[in-house]
Amino acid sequence: VRFYREAAGSAPLLVVTNREPVVWKGEGVLSLPPGGVSQTIHRLLSRTGGRWIALRDSGGPDGLRVPGEEGDPGYRLDRMDIPPALMEGHYAGFSNGVLWPFFHDEPARISGSQDDLLAYREVNRRVAARVVESLRESRPSLVWVHDYQMALVGREMRRSGGSLPPLAFFWHIPWTAMPSGEIPPRWLFEIVSGLLSYDQVGFQTELYRDRFLETVFSLFGSRASWDGETLSVTTDGGVRRLHPGVFPISIDPDHFRMMARDPANLLRARLFLEDLGLNPETHPGGYLISVDRLDYSKGFLERLDMLEALYSLDPSLAGRVSLLQVAPSTRLSVDAYRRYAEAAEARAEALNRRYSREGWRPVVTVSRSLDPSLLAPLYRLSRGCLVTATRDGMNLVAKEFLASQDGGSSPLFVSRHTGTAMTMEGLSLIDPADPRLSARIIQEGLSMDPREVQRKNLDALAFLREHNVYRWMASNLARPLLAASLASGALAL
């Protein structure tokens, strides 16, 4: 907050996301949905003031004043209504039927039409028009747009003419190395040229940023150049200059540490585990925990293959160590997600049929979101954490687990295909493409000297405390805010 106030003065920030940061519960009551990032940005805006524009998810008025705490100004939330058919093409169609599988290297799951692209374009156009309209009421220091559902907002804003504040964008998901032929090349061209309209495009890792640059060079050839800081591209609309940056996202580790050691939270977690038949006192083998939306990119089938491989590698673990999956369903309007959810459920049932014993089940699935104040002690009381994503921009669950362990002796096993594995050292890496090798790594990790695991966990926690989400936010905003201060004359070099 201090960094932002010093850099931006009183000019507020304007944030654009597909989803709203709060849920309308009726009668003016708002609640925060789970998901660390939007809550962090929400806290910043609550304290600095500002504006947030998002597509409406729940009832209530079109414009909301989201209150801040104890004298903080709070911020204004503009909630846009999109007609259902248009939303279907934008969200289920192009965003999650085309872009998500394409960028997560899942070509067989791509399904979308030209009409879906038109819907996506139209929703991005409407959002851009709302942002431009809001600039007439108050001019923010910068506009910060998020994620693959909103790639074209910057382009549409520029098309409206007029002078604009700096436009920053953050791409939360991986950038693919897949040949562009997996989707019509002009679709990819449209997304990439859309991104070139921003002044800064942030990626989670160097690998994704470098792949983005390779894609730009493959599309624009000698019309593109890169000096290590600035990418310049000659397009039909003139020369675009932007900064493609690397900003690995993170969490607030102290928040998770505190929640995980809170006695009331721990008690609640123990009761919760008791109800599931996983009470650590009566089931001393304990449980491995996985927490993710039921998404094919999170590797549910691969995880269950690993568990089966683990039981065949060490039969003494069958009957002792369970898997607790906290896995709310997601994006059920997309066919690929419905089919995947059914397949994951059938696979878990098959494992349970094969390995269950009196009073013990190998796989326990909780199909809903849990509050972070319950998740944190569940991470802490677990025997270990399994992150099995086949592709993941970052993966915050791994970081939440490490923070909640707070130097405990339960190991994290994290897929090498996550941004977390690419940007943190000293983690135990598994590979969902090789369940047997992964099972061996898990078995070794579970029998490691607890002091050794503790040391690894403490090293990881020290790293997270330094590379926390506030640092992520500040590093993201530093450059565009500097540009804004220079442009407004507030800062002279």
Q: Which residues are at the interface with ligand ADQ (CB under 6 A)? A: 34-37, 172-173, 249, 291-293, 326, 328, 369-370, 375, 392-397, 400
Q: What are the backbone dihedrals phi and psi of residue 363, each rounded to the nearest 5 degrees, phi first?
A: -120, 120
Q: Please identify, using beta-carbon distances, which residue of 318 and 375 lies nearer to ligand ADQ.
A: 375
Give the closest residue to 310 by CA, choosing from 480, 129, 436: 436
Cβ at position 477, least distance to ligand ADQ in Å: 15
Give the closest residue to 202 by CA, choosing from 246, 241, 242, 232: 246
User: Which of helix, strand or coil describes residue 77?
Assistant: strand
Q: Please identify, using beta-carbon distances, which residue of 193 and 290 lies nearer to ligand ADQ.
A: 290
User: Which of helix, strand or coil describes residue 91?
Assistant: helix
Q: Please identify, using beta-carbon distances, which residue of 309 and 386 lies nearer to ligand ADQ.
A: 386
Give the closest residue to 297 by CA, choosing from 61, 127, 99, 120: 99
Q: Please identify, using beta-carbon distances, which residue of 196 and 375 lies nearer to ligand ADQ.
A: 375
Q: Please identify, using beta-carbon distances, which residue of 57 and 314 lies nearer to ligand ADQ.
A: 57
Q: Please identify, using beta-carbon distances, which residue of 131 and 403 lies nearer to ligand ADQ.
A: 403
Q: Please identify, using beta-carbon distances, which residue of 249 and 336 lies nearer to ligand ADQ.
A: 249
Answer yes or no: are the C-beta atoms of 174 and 208 closer than 8 Å: yes
Cβ at position 247, least distance to ligand ADQ in Å: 10
Q: Please identify, using beta-carbon distances, which residue of 11 and 92 lies nearer to ligand ADQ.
A: 92
Rounded to whole angstroms, the Cα distance separating 91 from 87 reads: 6
Cβ at position 358, least distance to ligand ADQ in Å: 29
Q: Please identify, using beta-carbon distances, which residue of 318 and 464 lies nearer to ligand ADQ.
A: 464
Answer yes or no: are the C-beta atoms of 426 and 461 closer than 8 Å: no
Rounded to whole angstroms, the Cα distance separating 119 from 395 reads: 29
Amino acid letter for position 68: G
Structure tokens at 276: 């599931």
Rounded to whole angstroms, the Cα distance separating 348 from 173 reads: 27
Cβ at position 31, least distance to ligand ADQ in Å: 13
User: Cβ contacts of residue 452 below 8 Å, gap of 6+?
Assistant: none
Q: How many contiguous H segments (helices) and E segments (strands) does the chain have? A: 18, 18
Cβ at position 189, least distance to ligand ADQ in Å: 24
Rounded to whole angstroms, the Cα distance separating 14 from 153 reads: 13
| Cα distance from N-terminal residue to C-terminal residue, the chain | 24
User: Cβ contacts of residue 166 below 8 Å, gap of 6+?
Assistant: 141, 142, 143, 199, 200, 480, 481, 483, 484, 487
Q: Please identify, using beta-carbon distances, which residue of 16 and 224 lies nearer to ligand ADQ.
A: 16
H/E element holding 50? strand 50-55
Cβ at position 414, least distance to ligand ADQ in Å: 11
Cβ at position 278, least distance to ligand ADQ in Å: 16
Cβ at position 138, least distance to ligand ADQ in Å: 28
Answer yes or no: are the C-beta atoms of 141 and 477 closer than 8 Å: no
Cβ at position 476, least distance to ligand ADQ in Å: 11
Cβ at position 47, least distance to ligand ADQ in Å: 21
Q: Which residues pair with 202 in a beta bridge?
A: 170, 245
